[in-house]
Chains A and B, each alone.
Chain A
Amino acid sequence: MSAKLRLYILVFLILGLGIGLILYKHFALGFPLSPDEKKSVWTIEAKIDFIARGDPVIVSFALPPQTPNVVFMEEDFASPGYGFSELASSTGRRAQWSKRTASGPQTAYYRLSMYETDQFIQLPISAADLPAEPEKPEFDGVLKTAAITLLDQVRSKSANTEIFTRELISTLNSNTPDQNQRLLLNDQSSEDYKTHLIINLLASEGISAHIVRGLYLNEGRKRLSLTNFVEVYIGGQWLLFNQNSGESGKPKNFLIWQRGDQSLLDVIGGKNSKISFSIIKSTQSTRNLAVRDSINKQAGIIDFSIYSLPIEQQNAFKMILLLPIGALIVVIMRLLIGIRTSGTFMPILIALALIQTTLLTGIIIFLTVVGTGLLIRSYLSSLNLLFVARISAVIIVVIAIMASISIISNKLGIDQAMTVTFFPMIILSWTIERMSVLWEEDGPREVLIQGGGSLLTAVIAYLFMTNRTIEYLTFNFPELMLVNLALILILGQYTGYRLFELYRFHALERRDVTGKR
């Protein structure tokens, strides 16, 4: 009893550990459970142009903040001849290029590759981020009246801050503006002007708000500029509002570049500065991104994993990690189904060879080699050889058969058959020897049963081992081996009937019914 209990505890621990690690990798490190998951990676290039006047030049450029919702894969800064530094200030990161003297047209580049993660983590707002009570703005004469009227109008239609903000924005953007709105927006209605107007109007209601500049991520766009949003402090968190539609929340595929009213670009010693953004979209598998991100973050589980090996070794492991799946299949076939195979794990080796040769070709080659081998072996047995010499002779015969299959198929132009070399020769020789002895002692029936059983098991193992999802999962979640181990430990305890025993004993059932009982 205690041994059984110990086993169950062990199984439970192994299972828990394996599943735990898988869940951790999936949820914390973002490893997808399916090989087909793809993500859009955006490469954003900001190009800064200005004309230098021959004086010392300092270019200061706001960089997008790093949040948990986006992963920055790569950042490049390029500008020939300029010194570069990245500064972190309380208002966000800034890039700074500087040069003693420069004149004429100058260009600086900033390139960012990023993708959005699936996780939406709302950062708790720290005390420093809490907005101060906004200062009441001063509106001039007419504007003041217009503002008060508009605010009264909006206030009467809204119940809380969120609705108030939305209502305010949509009123300002309405297609049929009344006099007040026209007055407030006036002719110079640039985006920046509108943003500040909204912020000021909100401020006079005692609502904290600030400007947010961001970039819509659209494929293949050039010469884009940043879009203004208004972020309003409501109920302990910041809420983003589209200043043209009044919609709240961060839109999809939108990268927040800058928060607050600092300048986006400062150029000292230059004039006519302008920024243009261009965006290229590429699609990459989520798994590659996750591996890369985890290596960058030096997550311990990835740092000490197969990913840290050279690619060649990684490929070898891709194959090796499939073996436990084959072993599980063999355990199931033998313990639960009761299929007899010649050699316990020979089917796995055949399955491995099948992976290299593809299924149908592999089976034909296997049958050809074993069949021819059996014929020649039956001749060898009449030669009266010692056992070790005979099995060695069979090995040579097998190699000769493989060589002839390769050469003949090459001449005939059947390239697939040349994959014959992937079959393990020693295993084939042993199979032939075993089958041949089996034939002599137990007859061809037994040869068919065991040979068929081996081949069937091999094919099933092959089907599992070549399944894309299984291949992907075993390589990217080696923890699955623990789950596999736990399953095999449990199966090792199975004392019930094998499927074939139900057939073996079926006569017994019938007799017992008609017989004495």
Chain B
Amino acid sequence: MLLASAKKLRSFGIIGMNQRNFGLISRYNPRHLYPLVDDKLKTKLLAQKAGITVPKLLGTVEYQHDVKSLKEILRPHAQFVIKPVKGSGGKGILVINEHDHNHYFKPSGDAIQLADIERHVSNILSGLHSLGGKPDNVMIESLIQLDPIFSDYSYEGIPDLRIIVLCGYPIMAMLRLTTHASDGKANLHQGAVGVGIDMGTGHALHAVQYGEPVLHHPDTRKTFSELVIPHWDKLLQLAAACYEMTGLGYLGADIVLDRDQGPMIIELNARPGLSIQVANAAGLAPRVTIIEALKAIDPDPQSRAAFSKQQFATNTGTHPPRLLRTRSDDPKP
């Protein structure tokens, strides 16, 4: 069948776009908090203040005439990532693995010129990649080093872990693996592989590419059944702490594992997408119901992470009630 029955999806607790926008984003995320996550520099500062590791900031470009000094800024760094400060959905991110005098190499091996980078930077400044086309700034970050754990599961890029956090409780996680098709980007609709992760252990559960199940990485042929994410507790705590950091009730934390520095937050998202449900073969709604039924939010991120770990583990046998959350039975704030 090409179309799923709505009734069935509802019984699985799958949340659709309309319900996400209505029942999660507009309810839990006050609009005035958006700039905290839409502006990646602000997020970075917030995270540093909270003692969370982030990729090192190598420099910023604010004005068009500073583009000329780009060469000077980039010279001391062998590897770097250029990002729009207010970009969305991974747009406008340029990764350079190495460079010689005038050639800069992307992870795919393609060489580009300094002029290309300058144009890219000036595009970002003009607002090409920012939300609403507003003028933007450019940030240059240190490149994350691939953790060897993932070397068998990624192709020309760094996999990242997306954890959905509701009211401070991590409720679902997905590992996004870069592939040849995704051009080294961890972007699912470009062809990256999404791997659902068991909240209890960090084990891989299912994997999908282009919405269809896959059993092994399309480029490295490695099966996902052996994939286990290390530092799982630490990662959950890190995600849980983002709630205090931003105040956003529904957010997606993008975390990477750096070979040398361990887990770090690269980005937070106030409008995380819904593909995570496909990767996990599970709906968000039952988990949302559990969190919303809580009388009070535990102030300690560590105990929240522990709660989630125990509550949402796949093999504990405690299946969450598959109820569709309705607004009427919400506790009054």
Q: Given contacts A386-B122, A495-B18, are A506 and B208 in contact (CB under 8 A)?
A: no
Nearest opposing residue in chain A for B124, CB measure: A387
Nearest opposing residue in chain B for A381, CB measure: B119
Pairwise interchain contact B122-A511, C-beta atoms closer than 8 A: no
Pairwise interchain contact A497-B64, C-beta atoms closer than 8 A: no
Pairwise interchain contact B12-A507, C-beta atoms closer than 8 A: no
Which candidate, B3-11, B137-145, B159-167, is the interface stretch facing chain A?
B3-11
Nearest opposing residue in chain B for A430, CB measure: B133
Q: Given contacts A387-B127, A497-B6, A502-B3, are A507 and B19 in contact (CB under 8 A)?
A: no
Could you give, for residues 141-172 of chain B, a 1 whenever the CB lies within 8 Å of some chain A CB and a 0 otherwise? 00000000000000000000000000000000
- Residue B1 is within 8 A (CB to CB) of chain A in the complex: yes
User: Closest approach, in angstroms, between the C-beta of B208 and any C-beta of chain A?
Assistant: 7
Of the candidates B17, B92, B278, the one having the most CB atoms from chain A within 10 angstroms of its own CB is B17
- Residue A515 is within 8 A (CB to CB) of chain B in the complex: yes
Pairwise interchain contact B128-A437, C-beta atoms closer than 8 A: yes
A387 to B91, CA, bound (A): 16
Residues from 331 to 346 in A contacting B, C-beta threshold 8 Å: 335, 338
Residues from 101 to 137 in A contacting B, C-beta threshold 8 Å: none
A437 to B281, CA, bound (A): 33
**Contact partner of B5 among A387, A502, A507, CB < 8 A?**
A502
Q: Given contacts A506-B4, A508-B281, are A384 and B115 in contact (CB under 8 A)?
A: yes
- Residue B107 is within 8 A (CB to CB) of chain A in the complex: no
Of the candidates B1, B4, B23, B327, the one having the most CB atoms from chain A within 10 angstroms of its own CB is B4
Pairwise interchain contact A502-B6, C-beta atoms closer than 8 A: yes
Pairwise interchain contact B5-A504, C-beta atoms closer than 8 A: no
Size range of the chain A interface in the assembly: 20 to 34
Q: Given contacts A387-B122, A495-B23, A496-B19, are A509 and B211 in contact (CB under 8 A)?
A: no
Could you give, for residues 1-39 of chain B, a 1 whenever the CB lies within 8 Å of some chain A CB and a 0 otherwise? 111111011101010111100110000000000000000
User: Closest approach, in angstroms, between the C-beta of A379 and any C-beta of chain B?
Assistant: 14
- Residue B206 is within 8 A (CB to CB) of chain A in the complex: yes
- Contact residues in A for B190 (Cβ distance below 8 Å): 442-443
Pairwise interchain contact B277-A508, C-beta atoms closer than 8 A: yes
- Residue A76 is within 8 A (CB to CB) of chain B in the complex: no
**Contact partner of B327 among A1, A494, A507, CB < 8 A?**
A1
Of the candidates A335, A505, A515, the one having the most CB atoms from chain B within 10 angstroms of its own CB is A505
A46 to B1, CA, bound (A): 77
- Residue A4 is within 8 A (CB to CB) of chain B in the complex: yes
Could you give, for residues 342-384 of chain A, a 1 whenever the CB lies within 8 Å of some chain B CB and a 0 otherwise? 0000000000000000000000000000000000000000001
**Contact partner of B6 among A4, A338, A384, A496, CB < 8 A?**
A496
A498 to B327, CA, bound (A): 19
- Contact residues in B for A140 (Cβ distance below 8 Å): none
Pairwise interchain contact B278-A387, C-beta atoms closer than 8 A: no
Pairwise interchain contact A507-B115, C-beta atoms closer than 8 A: no
A506 to B115, CA, bound (A): 45
- Contact residues in A for B119 (Cβ distance below 8 Å): 384
- Residue B328 is within 8 A (CB to CB) of chain A in the complex: yes
Pairwise interchain contact B22-A505, C-beta atoms closer than 8 A: no
- Residue A311 is within 8 A (CB to CB) of chain B in the complex: no
- Residue A512 is within 8 A (CB to CB) of chain B in the complex: yes
Pairwise interchain contact A494-B206, C-beta atoms closer than 8 A: no
Pairwise interchain contact B126-A503, C-beta atoms closer than 8 A: no
**Contact partner of B1 among A1, A506, A511, CB < 8 A?**
A506
- Residue B289 is within 8 A (CB to CB) of chain A in the complex: no
- Contact residues in B for A437 (Cβ distance below 8 Å): 128
A120 to B302, CA, bound (A): 81
Pairwise interchain contact A386-B64, C-beta atoms closer than 8 A: yes
- Residue B213 is within 8 A (CB to CB) of chain A in the complex: yes
Could you give, for residues 478-510 of chain A, a 1 whenever the CB lies within 8 Å of some chain B CB and a 0 otherwise? 000000000000000111111101111111111
A497 to B208, CA, bound (A): 21
Pairwise interchain contact B213-A507, C-beta atoms closer than 8 A: yes
- Residue A441 is within 8 A (CB to CB) of chain B in the complex: yes
- Residue B212 is within 8 A (CB to CB) of chain A in the complex: yes
Q: Given contacts A497-B9, A508-B277, A509-B8, are A4 and B126 in contact (CB under 8 A)?
A: no
- Residue B201 is within 8 A (CB to CB) of chain A in the complex: no
Pairwise interchain contact B4-A508, C-beta atoms closer than 8 A: yes
- Contact residues in A for B8 (Cβ distance below 8 Å): 509
- Contact residues in B for A1 (Cβ distance below 8 Å): 327-328
Pairwise interchain contact B18-A503, C-beta atoms closer than 8 A: no
Pairwise interchain contact B6-A503, C-beta atoms closer than 8 A: no
Nearest opposing residue in chain B for A433, CB measure: B128
Pairwise interchain contact A496-B18, C-beta atoms closer than 8 A: yes
A4 to B329, CA, bound (A): 13
Q: Given contacts A4-B327, A506-B3, A511-B281, are A501 and B16 in contact (CB under 8 A)?
A: yes
Chain A to chain B contacts (Cβ below 8 Å), 27 pairs: A384-B118, A384-B119, A386-B126, A437-B128, A442-B190, A493-B22, A494-B18, A495-B16, A495-B18, A495-B23, A496-B19, A499-B3, A503-B2, A503-B4, A505-B14, A505-B278, A506-B1, A506-B3, A507-B212, A507-B213, A507-B278, A508-B12, A508-B277, A508-B278, A509-B12, A512-B12, A515-B281
Beyond the given A441-B91, A497-B10, could you list 11 further A-B residue pairs with CB under 8 A, ordered by the A residue number? A1-B327, A335-B18, A387-B126, A495-B23, A496-B16, A497-B14, A501-B9, A505-B4, A507-B212, A509-B12, A515-B281
Partner-A contacts on B (CB < 8 A)? 1-6, 8-10, 12, 14, 16-19, 22-23, 64, 91-92, 115, 118-119, 122-123, 125-128, 189-190, 206, 208, 211-213, 277-278, 281, 327-328
The 4 lowest CB-CB distance pairs between A and B, nearest first, are: A387-B126, A495-B19, A509-B4, A497-B16
